[in-house]
Amino acid sequence: MALENKLISADVVEAQEFPALARMYSVTAVPKTVINNVVQFVGALSEEQFLEKVLQVGYREPESKGKEA
């Protein structure tokens, strides 16, 4: 996904090697995905479901600019 849009960055974290970080995000099962610290889910999602979660965080309706030319 990071390849498709420069605003997306992706890290893989080996949970056992970084227990403090894993604890911070309450990782009790893997794979666990955390998006911008706001959306979290455990387990593998379909591509479509995963995309939905990413859009939830990464897409905002552009504010209406009115009729400025």
Partner 1 sequence: MALLSEQDKTDLKRRFRKELRKDVTINLFTTQASVLTIPGRECPTCPQTQELLEDLTALSPKLHLKKYDFFSQTQERDTYGVERIPAIVMEAEGSPRLKYYGIPAGYEFATLLEDLNALSRGVSPLALETRKKLRKINQPVHIQVFVTPS
Contacts with partner 1 by CB under 8 A lie at: 1-18, 21-22, 25, 27, 30-36, 47-48, 51, 54-55, 57-60, 62
The CA–CA distances, whole Å, from 18 to 2, 10, 13, 15 equal 23, 17, 8, 5
Q: Give min distance, CB of 33 to partner 1, in A.
A: 5
Residue number with CB closer to partner 1 (60 or 65): 60
State the minimum distance, in angstroms, from the CB of residue 25 to partner 1.
7
Q: Give Cβ neighbours of residue 30 (< 8 Å, ≥ 6 apart).
A: 15, 42
Least Cβ distance, residue 9 to partner 1 (angstroms)? 5
CA-CA distance, 25 to 16, in Å (whole number)?
Answer: 13
